[in-house]
Structure 1
Amino acid sequence: MKTILKTCLIAATSLWSAAILAAGPTVPLDKANIDLHDKASLQRGAQLFMNYCLGCHSMQYQRYNRTFRDLEIPEDLGMENLQFTGEKVGDLITNAMPAKQSGEWFGVNPPDLTLVSRVRGADWIYTYMRSFYADPARPFGVNNTVFPNVGMPHVLEELQGVPRKTYEQRMIDGEMKDVYVGLKADGSGMLTAEEYDQAILDLTNFLVYTGEPMMLEQRRLGWYVFGFLLVFTILAYLLKREFFRDLK
């Protein structure tokens, strides 16, 4: 009995932790209009991940060759431009960061991102990556409106520039007060605001793909199953009419 109770308690605790992790933030999320049919977007997203994210975050449940095949990237081209850790094409996408040191550097081990889209959702990822802002009080000099006191540096700062909180003077209760109106980059990045948003959309698209690589195939097969059931239902109805016609 004690073993059963202990097992139930562990399961309940795990479900509670997952619920907390997936809970929505206190700020509105922007809509990520992802398109898993857009191979060019997925390829750009993969390039961003391999160049800027893989140094800290692994993707240990996804293989290089599977990614190249699904994203229609020639294997030799993918190994040359998207594989930087010396692994083989059939290996899982991991990194060489030691777990102990990374926990000391960031306060917690950077999580694996293979399934992050299934836990957080595409809108959360898209908004989170566009919500960093300069905060000198933080260890890495940045904070995040979606994930306050985040321990992650703004790894895409060279693309976006330095984003800062912006305020406007507005009349509130008869007094002029500074009101927060959003974030704005300082223009020092390699991309414009529109280009950066598209880059984050590409990255989000890629992370949604890795969360469930079979999604498009499942949808395609689903239509065949639906068609079969429709034809079967029609035939079953006609067969029923034939059987019961003589019983009237």
Structure 2
Amino acid sequence: MKKLLIALVALIPTFAMAAGSNVHLEKANIDLHDKESLQRGLNLFQNNCSGCHSTQYQRYERVATDLDIPLDEMSQQYLYNDTKIGALMENAITDDDAAKWFGAVPPDLTLVGRVRGEDWIYTYLKSFYKDESRPFGVNNTVFPSVGMPHVLQTLQGVPVLQEDGSIVSTGGELSAEEYDQVVRDITGFLVYSGDPVKLERESLGWWVLGFLFIFFIVSYLLKKEYWKDVH
């Protein structure tokens, strides 16, 4: 009983974050068939996010295979030191260091696409704004009082919250349209990570439905054959 209470107390912050805000979520329109977008999302995630956030329930080899990335290319770009291609995709810092620097351990993001949904992730990454009162100088309209820096600010520019609730950015390396695509690519990779067998499962589902349809026809014809003499 004591362990159950401890587990419930530990989950309270998670439930609170899941409640989110009342901000309207933009449509991400993720296409998991777009392997080039997923590859870009992997690259963006590894270069901007994986220093703190892990996707530790994914393996480098599985990701490379699913996204049509040659294994040697995957190893050269994303594996360091003695990391094996079959290793889990863990982050670069220890939990102790992360808790000391950020006040809490950054969550693993393998399943964030399933927990939050693609529209939440997409809107969240577009909703940082300048707020000097926060430790990292930014806040977020989707996740108020967020405890992380805006790691994509160099690309987006300095985002300023307007009176009407919109966010206007200046000084970024990308245009607004280009930044939207960057966010969509990252979102797509996280959606894929949360359910890497989704496309395979959907494809298999059509085969199952086809089999059941054919089986129904055969069963119906057999039923007619067996019962024709009864009448």
The separation in 1 between residues aligned to 2:143 and 2:186, in whole angstroms, is: 18
Alignment correspondent of 1:189:
172
1:195 to 1:223, Cα distance in 2 relative to 1, 3 A: same
2:213 corresponds to 1:230: yes
Helix, strand or coil at the partner of 1:127: helix
1:222 to 1:133, Cα distance in 2 relative to 1, 3 A: same
Q: 1:23-79: CA deviations, max 9, x gaps? A: 342111001100000000000000000000000001111010111111001111122
Q: Which amino acid aligns with 2:168?
A: K
Alignment correspondent of 1:162:
158
1:18 to 1:192, Cα distance in 2 relative to 1, 3 A: same
Alignment correspondent of 1:171:
none
Q: 1:85 Cα shift?
A: 5.9
Q: Select which of 79, 83, 94 maps to 1:83.
A: 79
How does 1:141-180 map onto structure 2 within 5 Å?
A: 141-167=137-163, 180=164
The separation in 1 between residues aligned to 2:3 and 2:136, in whole angstroms, is: 40
Asked if structure 1 preserves the Cα contact closer than 8 Å seen for 2:131 and 2:139, the reply is yes
The separation in 2 between residues aligned to 1:38 and 1:222, in whole angstroms, is: 20
The separation in 1 between residues aligned to 2:154 and 2:229, in whole angstroms, is: 79
Q: Which amino acid aligns with 1:153?
A: P
Alignment correspondent of 2:23:
27
1:21 to 1:232, Cα distance in 2 relative to 1, 3 A: farther
Q: Select which of 216, 236, 244 maps to 2:199.
A: 216
Alignment correspondent of 1:137:
133
The separation in 2 between residues aligned to 1:17 and 1:245, in whole angstroms, is: 66
How does 1:89-108 map onto structure 2 within 5 Å?
A: 89-108=85-104
Q: Which amino acid aligns with 1:236?
A: S
Q: Select which of 109, 118, 121 maps to 1:125.
A: 121
Helix, strand or coil at the partner of 1:224: helix
- Identity of paired residues, percent? 55
1:44 to 1:139, Cα distance in 2 relative to 1, 3 A: same
* Larger Rg over CA atoms: 1
Aligned length: 231
Q: Could you state the TM-score of these two structures normalised by the residue count of structure 1? A: 0.87
1:13 to 1:98, Cα distance in 2 relative to 1, 3 A: closer
1:24 to 1:141, Cα distance in 2 relative to 1, 3 A: closer
Q: 1:112 Cα shift?
A: 0.5
Alignment correspondent of 2:225:
242
The separation in 1 between residues aligned to 2:178 and 2:68, in whole angstroms, is: 23
The separation in 1 between residues aligned to 2:135 and 2:175, in whole angstroms, is: 27
Alignment correspondent of 1:65:
61
Asked if structure 1 preserves the Cα contact closer than 8 Å seen for 2:20 and 2:143, the reply is no
The separation in 2 between residues aligned to 1:64 and 1:229, in whole angstroms, is: 37
The separation in 2 between residues aligned to 1:236 and 1:8, in whole angstroms, is: 50
Asked if structure 2 preserves the Cα contact closer than 8 Å seen for 1:166 and 1:183, the reply is yes
1:43 to 1:161, Cα distance in 2 relative to 1, 3 A: same
Q: Select which of 28, 35, 48 maps to 2:44.
A: 48
Q: Which runs of 5+ in 2 are unaligned?
A: none
